[in-house]
């Protein structure tokens, strides 16, 4: 049970706080930037794939409507 409590005051941050762990870890900022870049690249890939699919559907619709044109 002593491992779950800390001996500091009630309004002080414990020594095992995540902020201190991130600050003590070298390269933490670069890891966050890399994670954000990876997310943005994935989001951009999904948007481009959706745009390509919409373009293909639009071209097929144009071809179908062109064939339906009766003179």
Domain ranges of the chain: 31-71
The model's confidence at residue 7, banded by pLDDT at 50, 70 and 90, is low
Query: What are the backbone dihedrals phi and psi of residue 7, each rounded to the nearest 5 degrees, phi first?
Result: -100, 15
Task: Read off the pTM.
Answer: 0.54
Determine contact, residues 22/28, Cβ cutoff 8 Å. yes
Residue 62 region by backbone torsions, left for phi larger than 0, else alpha for psi between -120 and 50, else beta = alpha
DSSP per-residue letters across the chain: -TTT--SS-TTSPPTT-HHHHHHHSTTHHHHHHHHHHHHHHHHHHHHHHHHHHHHHHHHHHHHHHHHT---
What are the tens digits of pLDDT across the range 10-58?
Answer: 666 656 655 555 555 778 888 899 999 999 999 999 999 999 999 999 9
């Amino acid at each position: 049970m002593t491992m779950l409590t800390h001996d500091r005051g009630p309004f002080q941050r414990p020594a095992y706080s995540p902020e201190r762990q991130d600050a003590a870890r070298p390269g933490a900022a670069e890891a966050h930037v890399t994670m954000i870049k990876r997310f943005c690249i994935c989001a951009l890939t999904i948007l481009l794939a959706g745009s390509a699919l919409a373009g293909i559907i639009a071209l097929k619709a144009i071809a179908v409507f062109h064939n339906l044109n009766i003179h």
